[in-house]
């Protein structure tokens, strides 16, 4: 694993190297000998338009120098609001700042692949939940409250269907994309458990924790208000369409090519609750 600090809360069997990925020479040096490089790094959420394209360009250049495959962890911002289920063949139609940047970065990756600069596969996920997932709408704003029976704060219209991605399923899918040459040059939606409403999702979490569900919700107005004091909340406002309309992701393409390894929803939520329980104990000590 490569990050800026050389530190991370991961198993001791994983080697961590400190490096500045904005420097392509650094990236080339630390990826020497690699057959597959997984790009899941990103700038601060508030700095995507300014920094993300240059970060990706540096990584592409460094990885290309070593002839490795590049598997990119991506999201769904580039599609913009859609009428129906999200599929990989939809155009990049985003009008938001972050969505346009993601779309431009996708086009740059696929262009580099077509030109033979670097072999690329792109894996796309929805909003994450799971072990180690903190900074997510289904992260530390939800599970610590669930474990103590307190109201969990969800955003948007919680009675609409919304696909969530279990982080372990995302990781496994990226590994598959790195192993399978037929994945190269393409975009793939990783497999997810069945899509239900946000209210249903959080209710299951409360059931598994042994508490009656208590859910509060924050709309766009409250997110704007919070954005006065919290830059990340301000940046979330332009993406609120994902939570004010149905947001359902299709993964048939991946399943037909590689099979469906999505973890059943209750099982994934149980794993998440278990990790958060241990995490909260660690924080107390």
Specify the pLDDT at position 222. 60
| DSSP letter assigned to residue 235 | H
Which residues, 6 or more positions from 84, have their beta carbon under 8 angstroms from its beta carbon?
A: none
Q: How confident is the model at residue 252 (pLDDT cuts 50, 70, 90)?
A: very high
- Rounded distance, CA 49 to CA 117, Å? 24
User: Could you list the residue range(s) of the whole structural domain that residue 167 is in?
Assistant: 2-284
Confidence of residue 235 (pLDDT cuts 50, 70, 90): confident
Helices (H), the chain: 24-30, 48-66, 97-114, 143-148, 167-179, 198-209, 220-227, 231-236, 241-244, 252-258, 265-284
Which CATH number characterizes residue 264's domain?
3.40.50.720
pLDDT score of 284 more than 90: no
How many domains, the chain? 1
Q: What is the mean pLDDT of the chain?
A: 94
pLDDT in tens, 176-216: 999 999 999 999 999 999 999 999 999 999 999 999 999 99
DSSP 193-222: PPPEEHHHHHHHHHHHHTS---EEEE-HHH
- Encode burial over 16-36: b for 16+ CB neighbours within 10 A, e otherwise: eeebebbebebbbebbeeeeb
Pick the more confident residue, 37 or 13: 37
Tell me, what's the pLDDT at 223? 60
User: Which residue's structure tokens are 């208590």?
Assistant: 214
pLDDT-based confidence at residue 59 (cuts at 50, 70, 90): very high
pTM score, whole prediction: 0.94
Q: Which of 10-19, 47-56, 80-89 has the lowest mean pLDDT?
A: 10-19
Residue with tokens 């399943």: 255
Left (φ > 0), alpha (ψ -120 to 50) or beta: where does 20 sit? beta
């Amino acid at each position: 694993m490569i990050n800026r600090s050389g530190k991370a809360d991961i198993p001791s069997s994983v080697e961590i190297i400190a490096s500045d990925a904005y420097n392509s020479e650094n990236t080339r040096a630390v990826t020497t000998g690699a057959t597959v490089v997984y790009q899941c790094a990103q700038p601060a959420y508030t700095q995507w338009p300014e920094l993300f394209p240059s970060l990706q360009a540096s990584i592409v250049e460094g990885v290309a120098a070593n002839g490795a495959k590049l598997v990119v962890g991506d999201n769904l911002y580039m599609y913009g609001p859609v009428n129906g289920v999200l599929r990989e063949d939809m155009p990049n139609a985003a009008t938001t700042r972050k969505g346009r940047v993601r779309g431009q970065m996708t086009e740059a990756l696929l262009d580099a692949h077509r030109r033979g600069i670097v072999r690329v596969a792109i894996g796309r996920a929805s909003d994450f939940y799971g072990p180690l997932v903190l900074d997510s709408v289904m992260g530390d704003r939800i599970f610590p409250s669930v474990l103590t029976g307190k109201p969990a704060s969800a955003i948007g219209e919680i009675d609409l269907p919304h696909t969530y991605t279990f982080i372990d399923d995302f990781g496994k899918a990226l590994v598959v994309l790195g192993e399978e040459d037929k994945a190269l040059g393409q975009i793939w939606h990783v497999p997810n458990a069945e899509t239900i409403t946000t209210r249903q999702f959080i209710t299951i979490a409360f059931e598994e924790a042994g508490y009656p569900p208590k859910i509060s919700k924050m709309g766009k107005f409250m997110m704007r208000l919070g954005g006065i004091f919290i830059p990340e909340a301000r940046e979330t406002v332009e993406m609120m369409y994902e939570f004010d309309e149905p947001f359902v992701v299709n993964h048939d393409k991946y399943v037909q090519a590689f099979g469906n390894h999505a973890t059943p929803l209750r099982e994934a939520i149980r794993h998440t609750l278990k990790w958060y329980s241990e995490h909260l104990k660690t924080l107390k000590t």
